[in-house]
Amino acid sequence: MSDLSTPAAQRLRRPSWRDSRLLLGVLLVLASTAVGAWVMSRADDRVPMYAARSGLVPGQPLSADDVVRVDVLLGDAAGDYVSAEQDVAPDLFVLREVRAGELIPRTALGTRERATNQPVALQVDATSASTLRAGSVVDVYVNRPVEPATGPAGAAGAVGPLGSRPLAGPELALEGVTVLGLSEDDTVMGGLGDTRAVQVMVPKDKVQGLVGDVDLGARITLVAVPGAVSQNAS
Protein backbone atom coordinates (compact mmCIF):
# COMPACT_ATOMS: atom_id res chain seq x y z
CA MET A 1 0.00 0.00 0.00
CA SER A 2 1.53 3.26 -1.15
CA ASP A 3 1.73 6.30 1.04
CA LEU A 4 -0.74 9.13 0.17
CA SER A 5 0.74 12.55 -0.16
CA THR A 6 -0.42 14.99 2.50
CA PRO A 7 -1.27 18.47 1.14
CA ALA A 8 0.58 21.26 2.80
CA ALA A 9 -1.59 23.71 4.78
CA GLN A 10 -1.79 27.21 3.28
CA ARG A 11 -1.48 30.19 5.54
CA LEU A 12 -4.11 32.94 5.32
CA ARG A 13 -2.71 36.02 3.70
CA ARG A 14 -3.24 39.46 5.12
CA PRO A 15 -5.43 41.68 2.95
CA SER A 16 -3.31 43.74 0.64
CA TRP A 17 -3.92 47.26 -0.52
CA ARG A 18 -3.95 45.70 -3.91
CA ASP A 19 -7.11 43.72 -3.01
CA SER A 20 -9.92 45.30 -5.04
CA ARG A 21 -12.59 44.45 -2.46
CA LEU A 22 -10.68 46.22 0.29
CA LEU A 23 -10.18 49.28 -1.87
CA LEU A 24 -13.86 49.36 -2.76
CA GLY A 25 -14.87 49.17 0.91
CA VAL A 26 -12.54 52.00 1.85
CA LEU A 27 -13.91 54.15 -0.94
CA LEU A 28 -17.49 53.53 0.17
CA VAL A 29 -16.67 54.52 3.75
CA LEU A 30 -14.94 57.69 2.61
CA ALA A 31 -17.82 58.58 0.30
CA SER A 32 -20.47 58.09 2.99
CA THR A 33 -18.43 60.17 5.42
CA ALA A 34 -18.09 62.98 2.90
CA VAL A 35 -21.81 62.96 2.10
CA GLY A 36 -22.72 63.01 5.80
CA ALA A 37 -20.37 65.91 6.44
CA TRP A 38 -21.87 67.82 3.50
CA VAL A 39 -25.42 67.26 4.73
CA MET A 40 -24.50 68.40 8.21
CA SER A 41 -22.77 71.48 6.92
CA ARG A 42 -25.81 72.39 4.84
CA ALA A 43 -28.09 71.86 7.83
CA ASP A 44 -25.89 74.13 9.91
CA ASP A 45 -26.49 76.91 7.38
CA ARG A 46 -30.21 77.03 8.13
CA VAL A 47 -31.36 80.14 9.97
CA PRO A 48 -34.55 80.79 11.99
CA MET A 49 -37.02 83.06 10.24
CA TYR A 50 -40.58 84.25 10.85
CA ALA A 51 -43.33 83.11 8.51
CA ALA A 52 -46.95 84.23 8.54
CA ARG A 53 -49.05 81.86 10.64
CA SER A 54 -52.10 83.06 8.72
CA GLY A 55 -52.46 85.75 6.10
CA LEU A 56 -51.32 89.28 6.92
CA VAL A 57 -53.13 92.29 5.47
CA PRO A 58 -51.97 95.90 5.04
CA GLY A 59 -52.52 98.02 8.11
CA GLN A 60 -52.66 95.07 10.49
CA PRO A 61 -50.58 95.36 13.69
CA LEU A 62 -48.11 92.46 13.93
CA SER A 63 -47.93 90.36 17.08
CA ALA A 64 -46.25 87.12 18.15
CA ASP A 65 -49.52 85.28 17.53
CA ASP A 66 -49.35 86.18 13.83
CA VAL A 67 -46.02 84.47 13.14
CA VAL A 68 -44.40 81.05 13.34
CA ARG A 69 -40.70 80.15 13.40
CA VAL A 70 -39.25 78.16 10.50
CA ASP A 71 -35.63 77.11 9.90
CA VAL A 72 -34.67 77.70 6.28
CA LEU A 73 -31.62 77.84 4.05
CA LEU A 74 -31.46 81.32 2.53
CA GLY A 75 -27.78 82.13 2.15
CA ASP A 76 -27.18 85.75 1.24
CA ALA A 77 -30.93 86.41 1.04
CA ALA A 78 -31.39 85.93 4.80
CA GLY A 79 -31.09 89.68 5.39
CA ASP A 80 -34.22 90.31 3.29
CA TYR A 81 -36.53 88.58 5.76
CA VAL A 82 -37.50 88.98 9.41
CA SER A 83 -35.23 86.91 11.65
CA ALA A 84 -36.71 84.77 14.42
CA GLU A 85 -33.61 85.12 16.56
CA GLN A 86 -35.38 87.98 18.38
CA ASP A 87 -38.94 88.50 19.56
CA VAL A 88 -41.36 90.35 17.30
CA ALA A 89 -40.62 94.03 17.68
CA PRO A 90 -43.43 96.16 19.15
CA ASP A 91 -45.42 98.71 17.15
CA LEU A 92 -44.87 96.99 13.80
CA PHE A 93 -47.58 97.12 11.14
CA VAL A 94 -48.08 95.21 7.93
CA LEU A 95 -47.51 97.39 4.86
CA ARG A 96 -48.43 94.85 2.19
CA GLU A 97 -50.07 91.47 1.94
CA VAL A 98 -48.17 88.38 3.10
CA ARG A 99 -49.77 85.02 2.40
CA ALA A 100 -50.12 82.29 4.99
CA GLY A 101 -46.92 80.24 5.30
CA GLU A 102 -44.74 82.77 3.48
CA LEU A 103 -41.59 84.22 4.99
CA ILE A 104 -42.13 87.80 6.10
CA PRO A 105 -40.03 90.29 4.11
CA ARG A 106 -38.56 93.18 6.04
CA THR A 107 -40.06 95.56 3.49
CA ALA A 108 -43.57 94.26 4.35
CA LEU A 109 -43.40 95.80 7.85
CA GLY A 110 -43.21 99.35 9.08
CA THR A 111 -44.47 101.89 11.57
CA ARG A 112 -48.08 102.93 12.08
CA GLU A 113 -47.42 106.10 10.09
CA ARG A 114 -46.36 104.05 7.07
CA ALA A 115 -49.32 101.70 7.17
CA THR A 116 -51.60 102.56 4.27
CA ASN A 117 -54.73 100.75 5.51
CA GLN A 118 -56.51 100.65 8.84
CA PRO A 119 -59.09 98.21 10.20
CA VAL A 120 -62.59 99.66 10.53
CA ALA A 121 -65.58 97.78 11.99
CA LEU A 122 -68.86 98.27 10.13
CA GLN A 123 -72.38 97.14 11.02
CA VAL A 124 -73.78 95.56 7.87
CA ASP A 125 -76.84 93.53 6.94
CA ALA A 126 -76.53 90.11 8.59
CA THR A 127 -77.75 88.26 5.50
CA SER A 128 -75.10 89.73 3.22
CA ALA A 129 -72.45 89.28 5.92
CA SER A 130 -73.22 85.56 6.12
CA THR A 131 -71.62 85.06 2.71
CA LEU A 132 -68.34 86.65 3.78
CA ARG A 133 -65.30 85.35 5.62
CA ALA A 134 -61.86 86.62 6.54
CA GLY A 135 -60.03 87.24 3.28
CA SER A 136 -63.11 88.05 1.19
CA VAL A 137 -62.71 91.00 -1.16
CA VAL A 138 -65.68 93.36 -1.18
CA ASP A 139 -66.96 96.64 -2.56
CA VAL A 140 -68.44 99.00 0.02
CA TYR A 141 -71.68 100.81 -0.86
CA VAL A 142 -73.12 103.63 1.23
CA ASN A 143 -76.74 104.80 1.39
CA ARG A 144 -76.46 108.26 2.90
CA PRO A 145 -79.37 109.96 4.70
CA VAL A 146 -81.25 112.55 2.66
CA GLU A 147 -81.24 116.03 4.13
CA PRO A 148 -84.78 117.11 5.03
CA ALA A 149 -84.31 120.41 3.22
CA THR A 150 -83.43 118.77 -0.10
CA GLY A 151 -85.53 115.62 0.09
CA PRO A 152 -89.16 115.78 -1.10
CA ALA A 153 -91.66 116.00 1.76
CA GLY A 154 -93.16 112.66 2.62
CA ALA A 155 -90.96 110.86 0.08
CA ALA A 156 -90.89 107.12 0.50
CA GLY A 157 -87.55 105.40 0.81
CA ALA A 158 -85.29 103.31 2.96
CA VAL A 159 -85.50 104.49 6.54
CA GLY A 160 -82.48 105.45 8.64
CA PRO A 161 -81.55 103.96 11.99
CA LEU A 162 -83.96 106.17 13.91
CA GLY A 163 -86.75 105.72 11.36
CA SER A 164 -86.83 109.46 10.67
CA ARG A 165 -84.77 110.09 7.55
CA PRO A 166 -84.95 108.48 4.12
CA LEU A 167 -81.73 107.25 2.50
CA ALA A 168 -80.40 108.18 -0.89
CA GLY A 169 -79.50 105.58 -3.49
CA PRO A 170 -76.33 103.56 -2.89
CA GLU A 171 -72.96 105.02 -3.87
CA LEU A 172 -69.73 103.06 -4.29
CA ALA A 173 -67.51 104.31 -1.46
CA LEU A 174 -64.68 101.74 -1.54
CA GLU A 175 -63.68 99.22 -4.15
CA GLY A 176 -61.86 95.91 -3.64
CA VAL A 177 -61.12 96.09 0.10
CA THR A 178 -60.32 93.04 2.21
CA VAL A 179 -62.43 91.64 5.04
CA LEU A 180 -60.21 91.20 8.08
CA GLY A 181 -62.76 89.39 10.24
CA LEU A 182 -66.37 89.06 11.34
CA SER A 183 -67.85 89.31 14.80
CA GLU A 184 -68.50 86.02 16.55
CA ASP A 185 -71.95 87.23 17.64
CA ASP A 186 -74.59 86.15 15.17
CA THR A 187 -76.60 89.34 14.81
CA VAL A 188 -77.45 92.62 16.50
CA MET A 189 -80.96 94.08 16.34
CA GLY A 190 -81.12 97.69 15.26
CA GLY A 191 -83.05 100.23 13.21
CA LEU A 192 -81.74 98.65 10.03
CA GLY A 193 -82.78 95.16 11.08
CA ASP A 194 -80.40 92.35 11.92
CA THR A 195 -76.80 93.45 11.46
CA ARG A 196 -73.38 91.97 12.03
CA ALA A 197 -70.07 93.66 12.65
CA VAL A 198 -67.56 93.15 9.83
CA GLN A 199 -64.00 94.49 10.04
CA VAL A 200 -62.57 95.69 6.73
CA MET A 201 -59.24 97.23 5.80
CA VAL A 202 -59.80 100.83 4.71
CA PRO A 203 -57.21 103.13 3.07
CA LYS A 204 -56.16 105.79 5.55
CA ASP A 205 -57.40 108.66 3.43
CA LYS A 206 -60.88 107.09 3.28
CA VAL A 207 -61.30 106.30 6.98
CA GLN A 208 -62.54 109.72 8.05
CA GLY A 209 -65.21 109.89 5.36
CA LEU A 210 -66.48 106.38 6.05
CA VAL A 211 -66.63 106.96 9.80
CA GLY A 212 -68.53 110.18 9.12
CA ASP A 213 -71.08 108.31 7.02
CA VAL A 214 -71.58 105.78 9.81
CA ASP A 215 -72.02 108.55 12.40
CA LEU A 216 -74.67 110.19 10.20
CA GLY A 217 -76.66 106.96 10.09
CA ALA A 218 -75.77 105.79 6.58
CA ARG A 219 -76.56 102.23 5.62
CA ILE A 220 -73.45 100.20 4.72
CA THR A 221 -73.65 97.29 2.30
CA LEU A 222 -70.75 94.98 1.45
CA VAL A 223 -70.87 93.27 -1.93
CA ALA A 224 -68.42 90.43 -2.51
CA VAL A 225 -66.29 90.74 -5.64
CA PRO A 226 -67.04 87.60 -7.71
CA GLY A 227 -64.16 85.12 -7.65
CA ALA A 228 -61.92 87.41 -5.59
CA VAL A 229 -60.55 85.97 -2.36
CA SER A 230 -57.44 87.39 -0.75
CA GLN A 231 -54.78 84.76 -0.02
CA ASN A 232 -54.25 86.32 3.38
CA ALA A 233 -57.24 84.52 4.84
CA SER A 234 -56.55 82.17 7.67
pLDDT in tens, 96-122: 889 999 999 998 999 887 888 888 999
| Cα angle for residues 90, 96, 100 (degrees, 5° grid) | 85
Query: Class for domain 47-114, per CATH?
Result: alpha beta
- Work out the average pLDDT over 137-151: 79
Q: Tell me how far apart the alpha carbons of residues 29 and 107 are, in angstroms, rounded to a whole number.
A: 47
**Where along the chain do its domains lie?**
47-114, 117-150+158-229
| Three-class secondary structure of residue 231 per DSSP | coil
DSSP letter string, 185-230 = S--EEETTEEEEEEEEEEEHHHHHHHHHHHHTT-EEEEEEEEEEE-
| Three-class secondary structure of residue 180 per DSSP | strand
| Three-class secondary structure of residue 158 per DSSP | coil
| CA quadruple 206, 209, 214, 217: dihedral sign | negative
Give the model's confidence band at 52: pLDDT under 50 very low, under 70 low, under 90 confident, else very high: very high
Could you tell me the pTM of the whole model?
Answer: 0.55
